[in-house]
Structure 1
Amino acid sequence: MANTHAQLTAPEISQLWSDCLSDTLILCQLRYFEQHVEDQEIAQIIQTRIEKTREHYGFIVDLFNAIGYPIPVGFNENEDVDINSDRLFTDHYMLEFLRQLSQISMNAYGTAAAFSTRPDIRQFYADRLQDSQQLNEEATSLGIDKGYVIIAPSLPIPSKPDFVKKKSFLTGWFGERRPVTGSEITFLFANIQRNAIGAATMMGFAQTTASKTLQRYFQRGKDIANKHIEIFSSILRENDVPVPMTWDTEVTDQTSFVFSDKLMLYQTLALNSLGLGFYGLSMSNSPRHDLGVHYTRLMAEIAQFTEDGTELMIDHGWLEQPPQAANRRQLMNE
C-alpha cells in the first residue's frame, strides 16, 4: 500500500485546494437556504449537506495544516452572505440546486479519485462520491414526488438490431437530417436543465448586486444561458421531443444584499468552467455535424464570457492563486 504520508501529487493538491475553496462558498449558500427553506423535507437534505460539507472542509484544512500548505481564503458567513436577508429563491430552486450540485460533484469526485494515488486521498474522494450519490438520490426522489423534476423522454423500442448504412447519419446542415440519437437527446436535455438553473441564478445575482458593472455582466450571463436554451430546445422540438422547463419564476423580487459580489462572480466563473466541460463531453457524444458546430461556437461564447469575468476578479483582487509549478526561470534569476 502507498505511503499515506507521501507528498501530495499535482492532481491531489490541485483538487483539494479547489474543493477547499468551493466548500466555503457552498456553505455560505446552504446556510442561506437553511434560513429560508419552508419545506421540511428539503430542509433536512440541506442540513445533512451542511454537515457533510463541514466534515469535508475540516479534513482538507487538517491535511493542509499538517503539511504546511496555505489554506485558501475562500468565503465566510460574516462577509459573503447575509443569511437573514429576505428570501431570494424558492424551495423549488433550492432542491434543483442541490440536485445539480450532486451531479457536478459526482463527476468531479469520480475524476479526483481516479487521479489520486495516496490511499487516504483516494478514500476521501470515494467517500465524497458516495455522499454525492446519496444527495442525488434524495434530491431526485423528492423532486419527482413533488413534481419538480421533469423526466427525460423515452425512446421507441426497435424490432431488431440494425447498422448505420449511410454517411448521412453524420449530416446536420445539408440534406435530410436524421432524428437525434438517445445520447444526443440526453446531453441536449441536460444542457437545457443546467442553463435553466444558471439563467435563474444570474437573474438573482443581477437583482441583488450594487455594482452596475456586475449587474451588466450577470444580465449578459442570463441572456447567454437563455440563448443556449432556445438553440437546444429548437433541436428537441424539431424531433418532437419534450423540452425541460425554465426556472425564472423561482426567483423572488428581492433586491437587497444577499451574497457578496466576490461570491457571486466566483460562482459564475465556476458554472462557466463546468459548462465548458459538459459541452465538450456533449460534443464528443453527438455525431450529427450540426450539433458539433453548435457546441463549438457556444463553447467559444462561454470562454469569452469567462475570460471577461476572470479579468473582473483580477481587477478587484479577488482571484486567489491556485497551486502551480515552480517558476524555474524566476528562481534562476534570483
Structure 2
Amino acid sequence: MSNDTPLVTGAAGFIGFHVTQRLLAAGRKVVGLDIVNDYYDPRLKEARLEILKRDPNFTFVKLDLTDRAGIKSLFAQYRFPVVVHLAAQAGVRYSLEHPHAYVDANLEGFINILEGCRHNRCGHLLFASSSSVYGSNTKLPFSVHDNVDHPISLYAASKKANELMAHSYSHLYGIPATGLRFFTVYGPWGRPDMAMFIFAKAILSGTPIKLFNNGDMRRDFTFVDDIAEAIIRLMGRPPQPKSIPATAAPDPSSSRAPWKIYNIGNNNPEELLRVVSLLEKGLGRTAIKELLPMQPGDVPATYADIEDLAQDIGFRPSTSIEDGIARFIKWYRKYHKV
C-alpha cells in the first residue's frame, strides 16, 4: 500500500465513518481502525462498516487503542503520513459512571497513537477534542484563544489532556498536530446517545424527552458533513511552528511547536426547544417534554468562535438546522424503517 494512505481511527464511529467515506469517494486508500465496542448498539457500527467495506480501497483493522503492541505493529507496517484520530470514549454523562473507560481509551490509547506517530515519521496528526473542554467558561462564543483550565467532567478533562499530550510530542519530536474541538455533531448515521437521536426515538415512541435546565439549553449543533469537510481540508494543512517573542504570554491555541487547536462548530447556537419543535414538525408527532434540573458535568450553552478556521482554510459550516434535521429524519426513518 502506498505511503499516501491515511489512518482513520474510530472509522466505524459517527464522524470517522463520514470522514472515511469522503476520503474513499475522492479515490484515496484508507486504513480504518475500530474496536466496535458496545458503548452503544454495535449493529449501527457494523452497518456503517458494511458500507465502507464495499470499497476496495478500504482496509479495516479491528484493534483496541490500548493494545500497545498491536498499535506499534500497525504503525510500523503502514508508516501513515496522516493520522485522523477520532476513536475515543465519548459522552459526558457516561463518564460519571465509568471513569476508567476514559483513562483507558482517551489517555492510554492516545499515548499509543502518539508513540506510533513519533516512531514512524507521521507528517500530521489530527485528533478529536471537544467543546466540553470549555467547562465552566462563561464568555461566549467559546474561543480557542481563551484559557480552558476548568473542565467540569472527566470526559472534558481527558480531552484537555489529549491537547496537552499532543503539544508535548509536537514540541519534543516535531510532530505536526491539530486538535479539533467538535461542537454537538448531528446528522445521518448519528450516535444513539446524542440529543438528536434520543429526541427522535422518544417522539416516535411516545416516551418523554428529558430536557435539562428546564429546557433552557443552547447547543451549537453542527451537521456532520460540515465537520467532515473541515477535517478533510485541515488534513492537507499541517500546522507550522509560530515565531513567538520570549516575553509574550503564550496563546492557548498555537505554539512555537507545530501544534494548533480549532473549534469545529456551526457558530450559531440553537435553543433545544426549537430543535425539538423542528423534529416534531418533521416527524409529524408531538413530543412529551419532561423538564428537569441541570445535570452534573453539563453546561447551559455552547457556541463556537470559528474565525481561525475561516481564516486558515476558508471554511464556514453552511448547513442550516432546518436542512440538517430534515436530512437526519430522512435517514432515521429509512434506517429504522419507520
| TM-score for the superposition, normalised by structure 1 | 0.29
Question: Which structure: greater strand fraction?
Answer: 2
- Tell which has more relative contact order, 1 or 2 (C-alpha 8 A, sep 6+): 1
Which has the higher Rg, Structure 1 or Structure 2? 1
Question: Which structure: greater helix fraction?
Answer: 1
